[in-house]
Structure 1
Amino acid sequence: MRSLFLVMTALAVMGLAFWAYRENYRTQAELAAVRDLQREIGTLKESLGVLNAEWAYLNRPDRLRELADISFPRLGLLPLEPRQFGGVAQIGYPDFDLNAISAPVDTIALGETTP
């Protein structure tokens, strides 16, 4: 009986050692995947910063005005001015015709009886 207990204990220790070995390598693989993702995120953030800088460079007001002047004969683009915008009071809203209540409606709460 004692030898059976020793054999079972040895098998349990070997099984736990095998499990710990596999978990160690699985953890290392996941850590490597996280490092790769962090590296990719850093690269994408850097390229996003470059794209934002290029967008700001291309949207300079003087450059856009020059492009509008060059393209005026073809497109008829004019610069925006404050007088081109209207006020809220100038918006024409449709008139709503609300019908007057001609016949009252009797309401009864749940559980009440009519008199």
Structure 2
Amino acid sequence: MRGLLYVMSALAVVALGFWAYQENYATQQSLRDVRRLYSQIGGAHARIKMLNAEWAYLNRPDRLRDLADLNYDRLELLPLMPDAFGRVSDIPEPPPPLLPLTGSIAVSAPLNPDEEPL
């Protein structure tokens, strides 16, 4: 009986060692994946910063004004003037919501003007 217990204990130790070995390699692979993702995220942040800088460079007011002047014949764009913008107070308020219908409404009209209503 003792021999069987020793054999079972040895098999359990080997099985646990194999499991720990597999978990160690899975953890290392996960850490490599995380490092790769971090480097991709860093590259994406750098590209976003570059694109934001390029967008700001291309949207300079003097450049846009020159483009509007150059393409006036085709686009008929007017130059930006301070008085071209409105105020928030000039925007009309939305109409109040309609009240719900609580009672019935009888509507009857003749289909032809010569007929009498029902």
Q: TM-score range by the shorter chain?
A: 0.7 to 0.9
Residue in 2 that maps onto 1:44: 44
Which residue of 2 is the match for residue 80 of structure 1?
80
* Equivalent in the alignment of 1:112: none
SS where residue 80 of structure 1 aligns? Answer: coil
Tell me how far apart the structure 1 counterparts of residues 91 and 33 of structure 2 sit (CA, whole Å). Answer: 60
Instruction: Single out whichever of 24-33 and 87-96 deviates more from structure 2.
Output: 87-96
* Cα deviation, residue 11, structure 1: 0.4
Letter of the structure 1 residue corresponding to residue 30 of structure 2 = E
- Separation in 2 of the partners of 1:95 and 1:42? 50
Residues 65-115 of structure 1: per-residue CA shift (max 9 Å, x gap):
0001101111111123343344545749779998xxxxxxxxxxxxxxxxx
Instruction: Give the Cα separation in 1 of the matches to 2:97 and 2:29.
Output: 68
Segments of structure 2 that go 5 or more residues without pairing to the other structure are: 100-118
Q: Kindly tell me: are residues 31 and 92 of structure 1, through their superposed partners in 2, closer, same or farther at Cα, counting changes over 3 Å?
A: closer
Q: Partners in 1 of 2:44 and 2:97 — Cα distance?
A: 54
Residue 111 of structure 2 aligns with which residue?
none
RMSD: 2.6
Matching residue of 2:33: 33
The TM-score with structure 1 as length reference comes to 0.74
Identity of aligned residues (%): 55
Q: What is the number of equivalent residue pairs in this alignment?
A: 98
AA of the residue aligned to 1:14: V
Summarize the Cα distance change of 1:92–1:4 in structure 2 as closer, same or farther, 3 Å threshold: closer
Relative distance call for 1:31 and 1:82 in structure 2 (3 A) is same
2:63 matched to which residue of 1?
A: 63
Describe the superposition over 1:17-57 as per-residue Cα deviations: whole angstroms up to 9, x where unpaired.
00000000000000001011001111111111111111011
